[in-house]
A and B are shown apart, each in its own frame.
Chain A
């Protein structure tokens, strides 16, 4: 290990980490919104839309992100749609994450017994009130662990962005190795930077999981 080398690479890694974080968090934020909407459409079987959403989820859950990115970045320009690499990254992550988030959230929705809806409505709540005050809080609570797992998964998926020329952590490391052959330093820094990004997520995630565990009985 050569500490001077590590020091001289630090700014490049910081820049790469910021890009990874920027694309990662934007993609995750959008995928939560998308997943939420899709899950509701699927759960309440909105006519026509729920079939389209079903196809979308199966398509994106069962193809690798790398292929989705290739399609967005190299395929779409062939039919006249040119998208900037960063936007492609966010879009790819959103579409992939949306499909995963939708399934996690749907499992949360489905874990709530129908009797709760029936009870709430028999107490005079409207359908929307039932969803908002009774179903959603519990569904969110029970899908939090899956959400956190998805977030970590999506952040790690950013490591394939090098395929579309985004200088994320992985590509920066590979590129520096190619340029200067300081393999050990580059790989060690890569591990440390990913840990720096992901450890807080996993720690905060487990705290949030505990705080939000109010659905269900017997605790």
Chain B
């Protein structure tokens, strides 16, 4: 019995130490973790967080190279800074963590600007428009969320604006959550869930690239924008990015980006709807 008591004591002690370490981490988080533009230039590499499974925005092609709308922009940033890029593959749910721990300098992973996120990270000027969309199987196209039955499930990816929107506005709808885009896609193709809610750019791309699917709801929730994000307080990098985005507007960089990466999927019809040039969002028509 004595031994058991001793053992419990030892374990409790270990737990307390673990808790103390966590608390220590909490304090450490207040320290400066980000790198300024000069520090990045000095080190010769910039760490950019992108998606690796989200064609055509950020994905790894058959040669193992990062490609897509976000990546095209990332390459230009590195070129103008005169540094190499170290791509860091992120999941939707851990984009904020990567910035807060200083593991990446910039997130360019189709990151939608929201108020909640802006409390945790700093967003630069936007470079793309986005809203939510819902894609369903052709045999039962969901055209309104009221068609969702009590037992039906909507697929969402954990940590996306689609999840936040549905949790907040439709708390009674059952969600089937996946942690990666690839997993959600496979599950949806296998018949899990009645529909899939995600950025409308992505569901439209999905329905174009795969047969048997229809985007029943093209625009849901508020019209949002996508922007680069940096660690909260990293003024130096934020200002540099904003100047860069404004300068790139002069040469219509994001239109070129669209034509190089997205036109193949969406055609040219969506160009002016999606692209934000020079950080200026056109007023709604």
Tell me the A residues contacting B by CB distance below 8 Å.
1, 73-74, 77-78, 82, 162-165, 167, 171, 174-175, 177-181, 183-184, 187-188, 191-192, 195, 199, 202-203, 206-207
Contacts and interface: CB of A to CB of B under 8 A. Distances in A.
**Chain A interface, >50% SS class:** helix
A164 B179 CA distance: 8
A178 B93 contact: yes
Contact of B191 (A82, A174, A184): A82
Given A74-B190, A184-B29, A195-B15, A174 B179 contact: yes
B178 A165 contact: yes
A160 B12 CA distance: 26
Nearest to B29: A184
B4 A184 contact: no
B7 A178 contact: no
Interface of B: 4, 7-8, 11, 15, 18-19, 22-23, 25-26, 29, 92-94, 96-97, 100, 116-117, 119-120, 158-160, 163-164, 167, 176-180, 183, 186-187, 190-192
8 contacts: A74-B187, A82-B190, A162-B179, A165-B183, A183-B100, A187-B22, A199-B11, A206-B4
Given A171-B158, A178-B158, A207 B4 contact: yes
The 7 A-B residue pairs with the shortest CB-CB distance, nearest first, are A178-B159, A178-B93, A77-B190, A74-B186, A175-B158, A181-B120, A184-B26
B15 A174 contact: no
Given A178-B96, A178-B158, 11 more contacts: A1-B23, A1-B26, A74-B190, A82-B190, A178-B159, A178-B160, A179-B164, A181-B119, A191-B22, A199-B11, A206-B4
Contacts of A207: 4
Contacts of A171: 158, 177, 179
Contact of A203 (B8, B29, B167): B8
Given A1-B26, A165-B176, A178 B100 contact: no
A174 B22 contact: no
B51 to A, nearest CB: 14
Contacts of A183: 97, 100
B179 A203 contact: no
B177 A167 contact: yes
B183 A163 contact: yes
A191 B120 contact: no
A178 B94 contact: yes
A184 B177 CA distance: 22
A52 to B, nearest CB: 29
Given A74-B183, A179-B159, A206-B7, A184 B22 contact: yes
B187 A184 contact: no
Contacts of B22: 184, 187-188, 191
A191 B18 contact: yes
A184 B190 contact: no
B89 to A, nearest CB: 16
A191 B19 CA distance: 9
A189 B240 CA distance: 39
Contacts of A165: 176-179, 183, 187, 192
Nearest to A175: B158
B152 to A, nearest CB: 15
